[in-house]
């Protein structure tokens, strides 16, 4: 069965998941997590890709990325995977693949869905039972939004996040309130299914707009729209 062509739209956020081969452990020690984030921070500038959210789990990563050009997304993911593979293989004196051959991706509609995807990504450790509160997990982007260390502010800021408040403190308070509010009915299912099927995370109008840009039909995922802070 042929693979579904990946949709990549420059300037739009893309929800990415890449898993370890056969779900093997990718990040075994703290140095592994730190190494990947250092590479992400460096390579996002090399390939001109914005990073709006991330979460590193033990055997997979979630990323919310916006490439400036069609090729940038694939080049970034390839470079990240290659660096981590060489690093782990050297440590363990082994050879072979570390990651699944193909990462999953879904183009995300900014208006109404970007913050929902950020919350979905950053809450992964809580849903997995690894921590009780999101701020207890070190390897997600949640902490970067609240750090007072200017040197650590490498996370890119989307206009949807900026619209949460007039000041940094106001945006932080609104974002935290959004996290503590229950997700809309069907929100998790919509995000998961869109990612697994390589479909769009957004509404019907967004799908129509993407079809006009691409000049072909695209698969549309689901109904409904996240509620609350997202402006609905």
Indicate if the pLDDT at residue 230 is higher than 60: no
DSSP letter, residue 131: -
Q: How confident is the model at residue 228 (pLDDT cuts 50, 70, 90)?
A: very low
In 3-state terms, what secondary structure has residue 49? strand
Task: List, for residues 39-72, the tens digit of each pLDDT value.
Answer: 999 999 999 999 999 999 999 999 999 999 999 9
Residues facing 63 on adjacent strands:
16, 54
Residue with tokens 């408040």: 165
**Which residues are CB-neighbours of 228 under 8 A, at least 6 positions away?**
178, 181, 184
For residue 30, give the H/E element and its range.
Answer: helix 30-46
Helix (H) or strand (E) holding 105: strand 104-107
Higher pLDDT, 73 or 24: 73
Q: Which domains does the chain have, with CATH numbers?
A: 14-218 (3.30.70.1290)
pLDDT tens for 180-208 read 888 888 889 999 999 988 888 988 888 88
């Amino acid at each position: 069965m042929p693979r579904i062509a990946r949709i990549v739209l420059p300037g739009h956020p893309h929800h990415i998941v890449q898993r370890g081969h056969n779900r093997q452990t990718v990040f075994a020690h703290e140095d592994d997590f730190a190494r990947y984030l250092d590479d992400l921070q460096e390579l996002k500038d090399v390939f001109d890709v914005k990073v709006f959210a991330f979460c590193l789990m033990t055997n997979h990563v979630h990323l919310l990325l916006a490439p400036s050009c069609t090729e940038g997304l694939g080049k970034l993911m390839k470079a990240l995977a290659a660096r981590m593979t060489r690093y782990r293989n050297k440590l363990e004196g082994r050879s072979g693949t570390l990651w699944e051959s193909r990462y999953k991706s879904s183009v995300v509609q900014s208006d109404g869905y970007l913050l929902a995807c950020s919350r979905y990504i950053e809450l992964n450790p809580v849903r997995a039972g690894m921590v009780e509160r999101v701020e207890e997990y070190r390897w997600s982007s949640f902490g970067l939004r609240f750090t007072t260390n200017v040197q650590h502010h490498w996370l890119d800021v989307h206009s949807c996040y900026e619209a949460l408040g007039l000041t940094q403190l106001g945006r932080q308070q609104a974002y935290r309130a959004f996290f503590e509010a229950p997700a809309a009915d069907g929100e998790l299912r919509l995000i998961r299914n869109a990612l697994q099927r390589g479909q769009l995370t957004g509404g019907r109008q967004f799908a129509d707009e993407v079809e006009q840009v691409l000049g072909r039909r695209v698969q549309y995922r689901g109904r409904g729209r996240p509620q609350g802070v997202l402006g609905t």
